[in-house]
Structure 1
Amino acid sequence: METDLLLVIMCVTLIAAWWFHLLLKWSSGHRRRRRCELTLPPGSMGLPLLGESLEFFARIPSLEVLPFFKRRLERYGPVFKTNLVGKDMIVSLDPEVNSYVLRQDNRAFQIWYPESLKRIFGAVLEVTSSESLHKRKRTMVLRVFGPENLRLVLLRHVQGAARSNLSSWAHRPSIELKEAVSSMIFSVTAKLLINYDASTSSAGELWKHYDAFTTGLMSFPVNIPGQGFINV
């Protein structure tokens, strides 16, 4: 009995110490933000520790822009500050700003990855984030998804996939449009990148694994049941 009570006390103490550490970390970051407030765009950092993550990760049954972005675009404009998954960040919805950032080739801006991505890929991520390798990857992506290939190859694949899927959907009483369209786009992309045949019996399983993987990429990096990171 005394041993059980001691274990409970130790667990409560460890949890309290962990929360206290997180609160101190958040408070320190909050003070730093206050000192450089004049240099940051408008916005809100949300709740302590959680930031604005709860609203950001709220699921919506549609293909339109996330309400999280729509509300902040109306309130703050196309560039605003926020805190997601425990990280302070600046979000840009401005095409000109985004184009400028992408043209810098890691000179004026550094490549940043969320903590969940670092936990998943580890040291591999550090190697692949080098400037030369980043340029090669970008060249490969543009070769497949660039304007010329988009017109000559990709559009034909998309049209074929659309006809096939529309024919399949016609025999169903109802479909979840967002998931169905996402699965179709995934099939086309997988065919172009790795020559994967979406008509195989394992295609559905591959899509489920990919969906779970992408959900876990932008999530809190903690293994809690029901939380996206634990499924990656």
Structure 2
Amino acid sequence: MAPPELLALLVALLLIIHLLTKNRKLSKRLPPGSLGIPIIGQSLGLLRAMRTNTGEEWIQKRINKYGPISKLSLFGLPAVFLTGPAANKFIFSSDSLAPKQTQSMSRIIGARNMLELTGKDHKRVRGAVSYFLKAEVLRKSLGKIDEEIRHHLRTNWLGHNQVKVMPSMKSLTFNIICSTLFGMERGARREVLVQEFTKVMAGLWSVPINLPFTNFNKSLKATRRIRKVLTKVLDEKRCALKRGECSSDEDLITYLLSLGADNGEALTEDEILDNAVLVMIGGYDTTSILLTFIARQLANDPAI
């Protein structure tokens, strides 16, 4: 017979599963497919495919089994899987669809980031952030970017027989983000930020189970620490603006702080912090991966 402790644990587990599934009444109009295990759903299978670079096979298996439209559960939320040109056109051109991120992303980045907002709020926040990211505005930061690149090459490339390009490009991208978007100089504050940011990225695509040993829990704690650092930066920038010691377009945070409330463009502190974290995450992987592939292309084809 099973030990009493094991039996009690099994009963508790069955009770939890029952409570989680008893209200999951599915409409007959839903597409084929399964929502899987409560909370977890198909998340683990997708994450495994992403880690092993077999995402296309995972998608094709799903299409072969259920067709181009199916239901599933990802990262704690029910979802609909669609594929094909018609589905893409429907998603990106339909005004009835509101943007929705996974629970893990929403809770880690913050509820006031532009990916979670709709209507006027979305337009206001997106307009503010995208203005600073325009080429003519970023052109003013070329001096900062140039200095970051030169310092990075002197420190991490010159005199090295071998360089691991991907980690190097991630470090460079992060330092450029700190310099141009946050106006943060090299030093201890950046070091703290990069350590916490690594933990954030590890839990961004995870099942939102907030237990001490999970990546999601570690990511939430890391985000709170990042927000503390950025809050101090925000307070310093606000004081510098009041004293006239910096211009409104010196960096992203300064610009967002300078937006006036008289024309309805002002952002709250939560909106500034949430979208600062969003921009940091959005620019980190995409830019560093692109730079890595450029370096690979240059290395493999000297003629280029």
For the aligned residue pairs, the C-alpha RMSD in angstroms reads 4.3
Taking a change above 3 Å as real, the CA distance of residues 214 and 60 of structure 1, as seen in their structure-2 partners, is: same
Q: Is the 8 A contact 1:80 1:92 kept in 2?
A: yes
Match of 2:132 in 1: 144
* TM-score, scaled relative to structure 1: 0.63
Match of 1:53 in 2: 43
Match of 2:18 in 1: 20
Letter in 1 for 2:179: K
Secondary structure in structure 2 of the residue aligned to 1:134: helix
- Cα distance, 1:137 vs. partner? 1.5
Deviations 1:211-230 (A, max 9, x none): 22243343222233542111
Letter in 2 for 1:212: K
- Cα distance, 1:200 vs. partner? 0.8
Asked whether 1:228 is paired with 2:218, we answer no
Structure 2 runs not aligned, ≥5 long: 221-304
Match of 1:208 in 2: 195
Q: Is the 8 A contact 1:116 1:217 kept in 2?
A: yes
Match of 2:283 in 1: none
Match of 2:122 in 1: 134
- Cα distance, 1:203 vs. partner? 1.7
C-alpha distance in structure 1 between counterparts of 2:86 and 2:180, whole Å: 29
Q: Is the 8 A contact 2:31 2:69 kept in 1?
A: no
Match of 2:299 in 1: none
C-alpha distance in structure 2 between counterparts of 1:213 and 1:178, whole Å: 18
Q: Is the 8 A contact 1:116 1:220 kept in 2?
A: yes
Aligned residues: 207
Asked whether 1:86 is paired with 2:98, we answer no
* TM-score, scaled relative to structure 2: 0.51
Taking a change above 3 Å as real, the CA distance of residues 72 and 60 of structure 1, as seen in their structure-2 partners, is: closer
Taking a change above 3 Å as real, the CA distance of residues 217 and 35 of structure 1, as seen in their structure-2 partners, is: same
Deviations 1:166-224 (A, max 9, x none): 33222556555433322322222232222112x21332221121222243343222233
Q: Is the 8 A contact 2:104 2:207 kept in 1?
A: yes
C-alpha distance in structure 1 between counterparts of 2:183 and 2:160, whole Å: 28
Q: Is the 8 A contact 1:144 1:192 kept in 2?
A: no
Deviations 1:15-49 (A, max 9, x none): 22112333546xx46x44x63328xxxxx658534
Match of 2:29 in 1: 35
- Cα distance, 1:99 vs. partner? 8.8
Secondary structure in structure 2 of the residue aligned to 1:57: helix
2:171 to 168, 179, 183: 183
Taking a change above 3 Å as real, the CA distance of residues 149 and 186 of structure 1, as seen in their structure-2 partners, is: same
C-alpha distance in structure 2 between counterparts of 1:54 and 1:130, whole Å: 30
- Cα distance, 1:98 vs. partner? 6.8
Taking a change above 3 Å as real, the CA distance of residues 186 and 99 of structure 1, as seen in their structure-2 partners, is: farther
- Cα distance, 1:122 vs. partner? 7.7
Q: Is the 8 A contact 2:76 2:102 kept in 1?
A: no
C-alpha distance in structure 2 between counterparts of 1:190 and 1:67, whole Å: 33
C-alpha distance in structure 2 between counterparts of 1:96 and 1:160, whole Å: 46
